[in-house]
A and B are shown apart, each in its own frame.
Chain A
């Protein structure tokens, strides 16, 4: 029965086959091209992507773009109003606000990306394990998540930061410990719902092993949701670290960081609002950029929602 010549199903109409395959190869669009095609259609997403790309370029080329040295103080020109020389004015020790914002981009993006990458991978992995295996594994992981969720966020982050000392890394660890739970919860929930789908049973019926079911069936189908969480958590991470920064934890002066600048600016908000306003604007624009792009990315990654 398995002999090719007798009763083989696969021997009909093959004359034009190689032509057809050639044709197909020409028509085939890769997954990346498809995602880009769908992403392009969402104008807001393009704006978001534009903002983020601009921010990344600013971060990389900060020394060339910044009009002044962000560290050079000038006590003769403190809290100056915006002018041609200092487009966003100067701060309480006469440093150029624009230059400091430009250099602050580096820290903001670095912190945001690192926190989301680290806590995202931990959260998604644990969520996948909890959702896939269920039972006591699920129970243990989700109770740990609950424990972390029950901490008041800022006080917990403060405690961690204080315990680990000052600097950037305690902030990353503290904020990361808060937001990984969201990744784990969403991933687990999505896995539980995808698990019920007939295509998972179909996958088992053709002999897929657990690892491939997770990687080829669970992960691609929950990716859009993870992207959403990431784009919500990314600005949250930025805000948390800015808040901690505002409270004096994290990047220490004179390192230019947005949170610090808002803090300093708010001290003399009534008679010199420029510093606080421009620093806050930088945070808001970045957060919006991530949100816009995240929305577009989610739709682009989901072939059903995004259309083709």
Chain B
């Protein structure tokens, strides 16, 4: 059962140099109760995909389904109602909180907007409970963002996303701005929240190990397209797409004797007017002259997962 599904989703931006195809024909789904990891290099469109799904930015074309319902054309009040059910945690906790609002205000606004609670007592109870669950105390309610540490800010952001008891949350690199000890705490909290709420996550990250640890399924993106998607264990055991292979190999191993591999050479092509053929062809070790420089591969079912590569046709 899909909680979120996109069909041929596209998001293009106009720039002076040309059209930036940030999300180019992406069709993916997030199952109820699962964590879908989205990985890829910087600028591959992961973040844009997450924001477009939440309708924080307007898709250029294609559609987004939430619980089977097309939400691509929702506007105004109807769209705002939907905000109760899906939310987002941003990468940068420093910027995600209004410097002029206390923690109380940040948790209060969603509850007021969606008329969740009736009495002030109940509201405070709820706020303090969620703060406690996030490892914060009631006294933090009267704090301003600049009085909190980075980790505490991110906890507040997560608390804000959770206080409406949503069903689906986009986690846009929620830990990349935090140091490692805080990272693991935040991940544990996210996991705890997921189990209690029966949440579904879309976990966007460039940290392969992190995604491996937290996701049920993984989608690998390259230049605005999903090139491989499937079960985490299977993909890690046997990556099929040449890019996925290279990406996984490039993860550093903490062993000084091991040579650092540089399986990827060259640069990601510019997302401004990307090539019509396979975008990875220029860097691909298994490139087939006959087809890879001519046609763009479709994302097709193969080996129990989906792959977009001419090698697996």
Contacts and interface: CB of A to CB of B under 8 A. Distances in A.
Query: Looking at A1, A20, A197, A205, which has the most chain B CB atoms within 10 Å of its CB?
Result: A205
B313 interface: no
A interface bracket (residues with beta carbon within 8 Å of B): 35 or more
Given A2-B165, A206-B164, A207-B83, A9 B95 contact: no
A304 interface: yes
A212 B101 CA distance: 13
Interface in B158-210: 160-162, 164-165, 167, 193, 196-198
A9 B110 contact: no
A206 B132 contact: no
A2 B133 CA distance: 18
B213 interface: no
A220 B98 CA distance: 9
A21 B104 CA distance: 12
A7 interface: yes
Interface string A284-308: 0000000000000000001110001
A197 B95 CA distance: 6
A304 B146 contact: yes
Contacts of A28: 142
A7 B96 CA distance: 28
A217 B96 CA distance: 12
Interface stretch (B86-94, B238-246, B263-271, B302-310): B86-94
A207 B81 contact: yes
A303 B164 CA distance: 28
Interface stretch (B15-23, B34-42, B122-130, B273-281): B122-130
Contact of A199 (B95, B138, B161, B165): B95
A17 interface: yes
A120 B197 CA distance: 49
A199 B96 CA distance: 4
Interface string B92-133: 100111111100000001100110000001001110111011
Contacts of A216: 98, 101, 109
A7 B198 contact: yes
Contacts of B56: 201, 204-205
Interface string B57-81: 0000000000000000000000011
B84 A20 contact: no
Nearest to A2: B165
Contacts of A13: 129, 132
Query: Looking at A14, A21, A308, which has the most chain B CB atoms within 10 Å of its CB?
Result: A21
A209 B113 CA distance: 9
B196 A303 contact: no
Query: Looking at A10, A23, A220, A221, which has the most chain B CB atoms within 10 Å of its CB?
Result: A10
Q: Can you list the 7 inter-chain pairs with the closest CB atoms, starting with the nearest?
A: A207-B83, A220-B100, A198-B95, A207-B80, A10-B129, A20-B138, A206-B110
20 contacts: A1-B197, A9-B129, A9-B130, A11-B129, A14-B125, A17-B128, A20-B139, A198-B90, A198-B95, A202-B90, A202-B157, A206-B113, A206-B160, A212-B113, A216-B98, A216-B109, A302-B99, A303-B146, A308-B144, A308-B146
Interface of B: 51, 54, 56, 80-81, 83-84, 87-88, 90, 92, 95-101, 109-110, 113-114, 121, 124-126, 128-130, 132-133, 138-139, 141-142, 144, 146-147, 157, 160-162, 164-165, 167, 193, 196-198
